[in-house]
Amino acid sequence: MSDIAISVKNLTKVYHLYDNPKDRLKEALNPFKKSYHHDFYALNDVSFEIKKGETVGIIGKNGAGKSTLLKMITGVLTPTGGSVEVNGKIASLLELGAGFNLEMTGMENVYLNGTIMGFSKEEMDQKVDAILEFADIGAFIDQPVKMYSSGMFARLAFSVAINVEPDVLIVDEALSVGDMAFQYKCFMKMKEIKEQGTTIVLVTHSMSQILDNCDRAILINQGLLIEDTYDIKHVVAEYEKVIRNISLVSEGKEEVSKIEIDIKDFTVQSNKDVEEKRFGTHRAIIKEVFITDTLDGYSDSPSIESGKSVFIRFYILSKEDISDIVLGVSLKKPDSSDIWGDNNLFAQKSLSLKKGLNQITYEFTCNITRGEYLLFCGLATFNADTREELDQRWPIKKVIVQSKREAVGNVYAPISIILS
């Protein structure tokens, strides 16, 4: 018996794009079969296999081809070329409300989805109590789903998918809605069915979810399979490079030489991926910030670990010598609430800049619970009691904090147990 749950071989999906709506009609009626379209490869010759019982994360930028891939795995789309084979019963959450009739009640949709998955009414009767208990939407189960919030949609859809005992579960960003408590409940349930042998394919932009829950990760970009490995941190690192579009980030000290060569480049660009707000006189600029777990490291780590020492390395370009600078850094939650922050004034350390490239490294202990945070940093100077903002970057990038154990709150302070 094969141990392969999903086999994807040379999968390709091509769409015909037209510059003008009339071109579609011209092409259809042209007696000489003249082409008026150009091909767009949503997926291009993608191949991989997923073993039974694995949890695999598929990551990539918006438009990379992830959803197209999942729709072909579930049979929603037909490939242009290649093949997909799924061994076992599949349940999927491709998008909120998929497979739901908006005019029908939640209860009616539970049975409708069960029928689509091949279950009889008698079989669904045995599962409905577990579905309703997990969804926990109360009396709304008897209301038309068109009245549901996105959170209610997610609760009911996930509850149906998770409680029909699938061999393969596919989740595409559906858990990005709803409250944190329900998301936690969903991931605990996913861990439970994983232990029972269910194969799980998870698509999300949350790298902490990928690092916490997946055995393996696949990176797709522009329709191509870029990485496929059990070294999840490596895949996340490559993903971060893709979404940040940072040319300076790479492994090896040779990258510092490239920065030194480019010391006259005072181009000020904001990081659109985190909607960065940037301001200041820019007599000096924060050209790049690396976060590493080793003092000698020159690469940008994809994640940092709770309880460990972390090094924040600033590369600052200055147009002139500047004395008495303040270099601050902080971590905030996506809702902008402060988690941690510090600067050299608080540390009672005087700092100055020389003309050209400056490298300054901060070290701190990451006593922060796991999650995704935003890194803010700012550079300023004082002149005759007047503060000059040189370069404020709010935020500059996303930071992923990992932990080997669960913790509540924001502070990572694990207990030790002493038995008398």
For residue 100, the domain's CATH number is 3.40.50.300
For the chain, the domain total comes to 2
Judge whether 408 lies within some domain. Answer: no
Are residue 318 and residue 230 in the same domain, yes or no?
no
pLDDT at residue 211 in the model: 82
Are residue 106 and residue 219 in the same domain, yes or no?
yes
From 358, 351, 355, 325, select the one nearest 259 (Cα to Cα). 358
Are residue 249 and residue 206 in the same domain, yes or no?
no
End-to-end CA distance of the chain: 52
pLDDT at residue 246 in the model: 45
pLDDT at residue 186 in the model: 82
Q: How big is the chain by its Cα radius of gyration, in Å?
A: 26
Domain end, chosen from 221, 241, 261, is at 241
Judge whether 409 lies within some domain. Answer: no
Q: Give average pLDDT by consecutive 10-residue segment, the chain, 420 residues.
A: 88 89 80 82 94 94 89 90 92 71 90 85 91 89 88 85 88 68 80 91 85 90 92 83 53 41 76 90 93 74 87 93 95 88 94 93 94 94 86 93 83 90
Residue 308 and residue 128: Cα distance in Å, rounded?
Answer: 46
Half-sphere exposure of 147 (CA within 13 A, CB side): 10
pLDDT at residue 113 in the model: 85
Domain end, chosen from 213, 241, 269, is at 241
Judge whether 414 lies within some domain. Answer: no
Are residue 225 and residue 309 in the same domain, yes or no?
no
Are residue 160 and residue 72 in the same domain, yes or no?
yes
Are residue 230 and residue 361 in the same domain, yes or no?
no
Are residue 18 and residue 89 in the same domain, yes or no?
yes
Judge whether 407 lies within some domain. Answer: no
Are 151 and 186 in contact by the 8 Å Cβ rule? The answer is no
**Domain with 325 in it:** 245-402
Judge whether 412 lies within some domain. Answer: no
Judge whether 410 lies within some domain. Answer: no
Are residue 310 and residue 174 in the same domain, yes or no?
no
CA 305 to chain centroid, in Å, comes to 17
Are residue 83 and residue 219 in the same domain, yes or no?
yes
Judge whether 420 lies within some domain. Answer: no
Are residue 68 and residue 179 in the same domain, yes or no?
yes
Going by C-beta distance under 8 Å and a sequence separation of 6 or more, which residues neighbour residue 10?
45, 46, 47, 81, 82, 83
Residue 358 and residue 195: Cα distance in Å, rounded?
Answer: 51
Helix, coil or strand: residue 70? helix
pLDDT at residue 248 in the model: 37
Judge whether 415 lies within some domain. Answer: no
pLDDT at residue 175 in the model: 65
Are residue 253 and residue 200 in the same domain, yes or no?
no
From 152, 121, 11, 150, select the one nearest 69 (Cα to Cα). 11
- CATH of residue 271: 2.70.50.60
Are residue 198 and residue 67 in the same domain, yes or no?
yes
